[in-house]
Chains A and B, each alone.
Chain A
């Protein structure tokens, strides 16, 4: 969620006045803008701030929020928190991997789905839980999960069909 509308990536870069501690917010806004941190953004940030690219890369790889590759249209966040874990979230994650043919951290070839795990979504009473973009789906079983994923696939297929028809 963007906090201020004007706080976009280029504005932040332009506004940079050498104040320390700006690197992480800059990277966050780059990722907000592009969906990931492209090679070019690292060069831009380095050019403006004078921080070596290697240091920036070090910060990017330290934090789990940052990614160096584009994400799918639907980002699945499978909760791996304690409450979900004791509700067998492992089977849930394996089911997603199986249904989509990707592993945790991967993106499907058609660019539709990216699968990640998160420490805790915070709706432990609905365990096991996943989020697909901003929608939360709880109390899942392998069967209900497959149905859910297939409904996303179907929706996507039919909307593509609409487009090609138009």
Chain B
């Protein structure tokens, strides 16, 4: 029987997957027993949501942009008569054969380890996870392996922390294992805070059991008895599915007292973050779990010695844990076969910004930025020019288009001045102003600075003031030098990762786009045509209906025109406040 599977991750739901699901549900109640209806999470093709898969045995056909109307068509044609609607097929996966359909390139260049089950199984069903080989790794470590052997396999696999810093995971585990303590903790950092990154959310929503399983294996390796998942409260669906998964895992004996009769006990609790970016820093995260203001503390002592509640603690992020069961089941060699010499395995990236295929992609380490943006990402929207990718969010930097041959791994990316980060990759086109993007990230870190270190608290504010001044056309020639000096000082004088990396977006854009800074300062021009104070406001005569609303809203009477006739903005009077853009009901005002 054909199975209809609707993608219901956050991206799908926001594109209208609920209505699509309801339509199929109505069709099913009108025609009982004709097909099975199920739901899954994000398969990564966020740009084609809502996605619906029709599965029959090994044959999987994914339709893109399925509205309730298209659901009717799919029912009448594909389900009832077996006639595939080729025009709407995003992906066709047959038994053993290559992927077909309009999105086959997006799919076939990927290697899915972390995302192995995302978009394939029902994340709320532990049975489906088990059918895919889930929880076998727990059985293996409990029945066949000593804790030291587990750490050995993880070390050998070459797995490095996927939160951004890339610290070798096996080594980290061995530190926590080395401290003697009655109580130890395993913590999962699911406080994914970079604006523009949603890898961890997709894993938690799409395959929560893989994270739980990874945590249990880690607990066994280091000898911990309780664990915490610190998840952003902004991810309600992820928390909901994790809660279900933890309940089911307890019921089946994979969590709790005496797991699978081995005598080993371990349980997991979810802690909801309350919205503070700095809590992604592990010592701040521990403070937050302890119920305090989430402020970092000095290391050493490192968490492996004194972490949560002062006990030895191992902290990894979601993606790191999700890799672990796969490595245990398939072996270290199978994992280290992917990637580069120093960066093994795969990495999940969230492609966003001016790229055609916005979504989630998992590729072997060492894949070039060019392949990610053009082959998987499908190039730049509206056929515009590729300018740069921003990696690592507010802690990272911009990699310009001429360096797009750079392989993504833990060595090559930092060499460009950006960082690997957790996997957010925002693609920028020629309309993006690099000064403005640096200002945007600094505004973010400035607001999120916890205030403990003076340089981070005040230094970032001074940098933000200078950048704001530059984008307003009030910059002075010495400003660039001031930014560079301040940036270095903040990096050197801050306690935690937030401050140490906060200047990166500014430093990396000055490094590659100094001419843009200079154009703002010396010529009072924004080459990208983005900074409001430095561009002209114009009215598109094709779109203007002469409704007069912009003229009424203009505070300086710079707009003239009779009713029902095209209006004109007088640039010599205009103060560039943007009121005309926000008030126009026809999107007729634009900046140039």
Q: Which residues of A contact B (CB under 8 A)?
A: 1, 3, 20-25, 27-28, 58-59, 62-66, 80-83, 85-86, 91, 94-95, 98-99, 118-127, 129, 136, 138, 141-143, 146-147
Contacts and interface: CB of A to CB of B under 8 A. Distances in A.
B354 interface: yes
Contacts of A122: 10-11, 198, 201, 235
A142 B584 contact: yes
Contacts of A20: 290-291, 309
B390 interface: yes
A98 B583 CA distance: 8
Interface of B: 10-11, 13-15, 46-47, 49, 193-198, 201, 233-236, 239-240, 243, 270-277, 288-294, 309, 350, 352-354, 358-359, 390, 393, 424, 426, 428, 432, 437, 440-441, 444, 450, 578-579, 581-587
Pairs A-B, 10 closest by C-beta atoms: A125-B358, A136-B14, A82-B196, A124-B352, A63-B274, A64-B275, A23-B291, A81-B195, A83-B352, A65-B275
B578 A91 contact: yes
A149 B390 CA distance: 33
Contacts of B437: 85-86
13 contacts: A21-B290, A23-B292, A24-B288, A27-B274, A28-B272, A59-B292, A82-B440, A86-B354, A91-B578, A120-B196, A124-B196, A125-B47, A129-B14
B233 A142 contact: no
Given A28-B274, A143-B587, A83 B14 contact: no
Chain B contact residues: helix, strand, loop or mixed? mixed
Given A119-B444, A124-B196, A125-B358, A141 B587 contact: yes
Contacts of B290: 20-21
A23 to B, nearest CB: 4
A91 B583 CA distance: 10
Contacts of B193: 119
B584 to A, nearest CB: 6
A58 B293 contact: yes
A62 B358 contact: no
B272 A25 contact: yes
Contacts of A21: 271, 289-291
Given A23-B292, A119-B193, A119-B234, 8 more contacts: A27-B274, A63-B274, A64-B276, A82-B426, A94-B582, A121-B14, A138-B15, A142-B582
A98 B579 contact: yes
B291 A24 contact: yes
